[in-house]
Amino acid sequence: MNVLLQYTPLGLLAVLLGVLLRRRAYTTSPWFFVYAIFGVIAGLARFVAHSYATRYYATYWVTEAGYDLLGILVMYEVLRAVLGNLARAWWARLVFPTILLAGAGMGWARTDVVPARFSGIEFYIVVGEIAVRFVQVFVFAGLVTLVPLLGLRWRQYPFGVATGFGLYATVMLLTTTKFSDFGTRFKLLWGWTSIVAYSLAVLIWIWFFSVPQEIETLNTERSAPSPGDLKQYKDALRRMR
């Protein structure tokens, strides 16, 4: 595989990081900002080490573990941003742990997709990666459901983050299954598919963060809600149960 094309996502991540800095995303999406920084550093580290098999091997697995951890933190950040004040409710605090447990269970159930040559810490890193992919798909699917239900605007930073991760995670879960079915014959196509899918995810993030986000603030001077407004609020809450 051409080295230049292999590291195309690294260049896109550098562009994304510049966009995030311009939008001061570190104030609205701090964990995603950290993820972008880590992605650039990890990509550079892999690029520098790619000529040395032993160094690249160690660099690859260390950075993969970092991606797993940051992927979880970013999804938690996305859910908290979307739920807003609802995150204080007791049931809302159970949403992410439930998703995380479901993803971990699905990841462990899919251990058959892990190549047999992986063992020890590498095996658990791959299983964790699969679990994180399921978490990202679950979060994205949940947000797709909430947008029409609650009348939310789709062009918001958290939705953009979830969309990029949701697309990439879905493609990787499907291609990982195919790689298990066809073995090394599918390896080259799997590599190209992962590069294209991740590049599209980064492009989605660049597009979402390319414009300022309108942040809705609570107006404390607003008068008491009318009986009609209260009825609408109750109906909305009832649909969420």
From 82, 46, 47, 52, select the one nearest 66 (Cα to Cα): 46
If 0-12 CB within 10 Å is exposed, 13-18 middle and 19+ buried, where does residue 13 land?
buried
- Whether the CA torsion 171, 146, 155, 80 is positive or negative: it is negative
Q: What is the value of pTM for the model shown?
A: 0.80
Contacts of 77 (CB under 8 A, 6+ apart): 29, 30, 31, 32, 158
- Whether the CA torsion 24, 28, 34, 36 is positive or negative: it is negative
Contact 75, 103 (CB under 8 A): no
- Rounded to whole angstroms, the Cα distance separating 136 from 140 reads 6
* Tokens describing residue 62: 């260390």
pLDDT on residue 224: 43
Query: pLDDT tens digits for 119-175?
Result: 788 888 888 998 999 999 999 998 888 777 766 677 789 999 999 999 999 998 888
- Whether the CA torsion 95, 101, 104, 106 is positive or negative: it is negative
Query: What angle do the packed helices 95-109 and 121-150 form, to 10 degrees?
Result: 130
* Tokens describing residue 158: 């958290």
Query: pLDDT tens digits for 7-58?
Result: 889 999 999 999 999 999 999 999 999 999 999 999 999 989 988 888 999 9
- Rounded to whole angstroms, the Cα distance separating 156 from 35 reads 18
Per DSSP, the three-state class of 48 is helix
